């Protein structure tokens, strides 16, 4: 059957690159040889023991690769096709998917909370030489020849998630939008808000390099929360409150500020992964009758989503490569996790090459 190198999670704080069995494609599946992947903030949560997965799992959920095996029942693909696979791999055939809620995929049955997120969560993930892709028919997105691996790898999760923050906010031409946190997801939300026609996009962070990246990726204003009262400043800049706030961090403070920045009848589009209880402040919420909307969104996946996002790169509407600040071989991924976890050296995203 052969073996491969892969980054295996063994318990809190314990990951290592090891030789493990290579996967093979069953019915409806495919195996890709991973040519590029990356590390996500969620992977950090896993390694830190903040999000539980079972020991022995290969982690990572952002794969670019080349089709190596195609299982029975998968049509329209060839061995050797270069593909992008989203972090979320919907089956397309369960009640959730057929209702358009693909991230809450029930794998052929009903709904399952977060069920669409399988790679590096409930099945082996992408930080490996080979990756088994479930429901391959719905999830293998061919990469146009003119696009490099680095041009598309960030679409699998952070761009799909960040843009979805803008989409769930239903941003309209002329909107004023504020995005809380300018890490990888927040930067993509900033890009997404511009793409949907926002007049004014305000990026908020407390890190000089990220504020600079925010401007580079399209923020009209980059607010440093260390220097200004963010809520007051957003209210001033927007003349009374933002139409849409996007939360891209997952803390009580950013959630609350995102709500306080809104005009009446505004929308809080929430992307963050929260822990513990979340408070909705009574006053900022207009006692519950301010016609506010709080919309939460998990990364959209599936091959059609990936195709659309790749079109945005191909037509030069977006270039996310400036966000890839570092590159590591898979064998050094433990070192890459350290750098990423400590946010050293202005890291935004790290490309990992098996």
Report the residue number, 2 or 289, with the smaller CB distance to a copy of itself: 289
Q: Are 34 and 98 in contact (CB under 8 A)?
A: no
Report the residue number, 56 or 240, with the smaller CB distance to a copy of itself: 240
Of 1-40, binders to a copy of itself (CB under 8 A) are 27-28
Dump the DSSP string for 76-101: S--TT-EEE--SB---S-SHHHHTT-
Site string for a copy of itself, 133-152 (x = CB under 8 A): --x-xx--------------
Q: How far is the CB of 76 from a copy of itself (least distance, A)?
A: 5
348 Cβ contact partners less than 8 Å away, ≥ 6 residues apart: 183, 184, 187, 210, 213, 323, 324, 325
Q: How far is the CB of 203 from a copy of itself (least distance, A)?
A: 14
Among 312, 325, 332, 353, binds a copy of itself (CB under 8 A): 312
**Quick check: 163 binds a copy of itself (CB under 8 A)?**
yes
Q: Is the dihedral of CA 165, 169, 171, 177 positive or negative?
A: negative
**Quick check: 209 binds a copy of itself (CB under 8 A)?**
no
Report the residue number, 177 or 323, with the smaller CB distance to a copy of itself: 177
Of 231-260, binders to a copy of itself (CB under 8 A) are 239-241, 250
Of 97-126, binders to a copy of itself (CB under 8 A) are 97-104, 108-115
DSSP state of 282: T
Phi/psi at 240 (5° precision): 130, -5
Among 121, 272, 326, 351, binds a copy of itself (CB under 8 A): 272
**Quick check: 92 binds a copy of itself (CB under 8 A)?**
yes
Q: Are 102 and 300 in contact (CB under 8 A)?
A: yes
CA separation for the pair 264, 289 (Å, rounded):
9
Q: How far is the CB of 20 from a copy of itself (least distance, A)?
A: 26
Site string for a copy of itself, 42-61 (x = CB under 8 A): --------------------
**Beta-sheet strands, E only, within 160-273:** 176-180, 200-205, 221-224, 242-247, 262-270
Q: How far is the CB of 46 from a copy of itself (least distance, A)?
A: 13
CA separation for the pair 125, 105 (Å, rounded):
17
In 3D space, the residue among 310, 85, 323 whose CA is nearest the CA of residue 186 turns out to be 323
Among 23, 60, 125, 192, binds a copy of itself (CB under 8 A): 192
Report the residue number, 307 or 327, with the smaller CB distance to a copy of itself: 307
Total chain residues near a copy of itself (CB under 8 A) = 94
């Amino acid at each position: 059957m052969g073996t491969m190198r892969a980054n295996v999670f063994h318990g809190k704080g314990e990951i290592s690159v090891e030789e493990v069995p290579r996967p093979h494609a069953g019915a409806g599946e495919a195996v890709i040889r991973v040519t590029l992947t990356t590390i996500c903030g969620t992977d950090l949560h896993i390694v830190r023991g903040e999000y539980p997965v079972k020991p022995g799992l290969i982690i990572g959920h952002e794969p670019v690769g080349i089709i190596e095996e195609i299982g029975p029942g998968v049509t329209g693909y060839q061995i050797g096709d270069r593909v992008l696979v989203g972090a979320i791999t919907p089956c397309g055939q369960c009640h959730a998917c057929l209702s358009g809620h693909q991230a809450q995929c029930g794998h052929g049955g009903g709904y399952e909370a977060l069920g669409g997120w399988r790679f590096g969560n409930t099945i082996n993930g992408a930080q490996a030489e080979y990756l088994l892709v479930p429901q391959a028919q719905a999830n293998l997105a061919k990469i146009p020849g003119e696009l490099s691996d680095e041009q598309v790898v960030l679409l699998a999760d952070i761009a799909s998630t960040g843009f979805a923050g803008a989409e769930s906010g239903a941003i309209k031409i002329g909107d004023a939008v504020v995005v809380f946190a300018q890490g990888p997801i927040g930067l993509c939300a900033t890009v997404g808000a511009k793409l949907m026609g926002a007049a004014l996009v305000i990026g908020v962070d407390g890190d000089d390099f990220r504020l600079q990246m925010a401007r580079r990726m399209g923020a009209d204003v980059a607010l440093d929360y260390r220097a200004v009262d963010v809520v007051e400043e957003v209210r001033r800049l927007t003349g009374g409150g933002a139409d849409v706030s996007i939360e891209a961090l997952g803390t009580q403070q950013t959630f609350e500020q995102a709500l306080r920045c809104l005009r009446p009848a505004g929308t809080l589009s929430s992307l963050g992964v929260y822990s513990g209880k979340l408070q909705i402040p009574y006053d900022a919420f207009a006692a519950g009758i301010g016609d506010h909307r709080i919309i939460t969104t998990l990364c959209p996946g599936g091959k059609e989503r990936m195709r659309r996002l790749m079109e945005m790169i191909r037509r030069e509407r977006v270039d996310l490569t400036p966000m890839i600040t570092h590159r590591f071989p898979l064998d050094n991924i433990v070192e890459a996790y350290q750098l990423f976890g400590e946010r050293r050296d202005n890291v935004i995203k790290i490309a990992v090459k098996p």
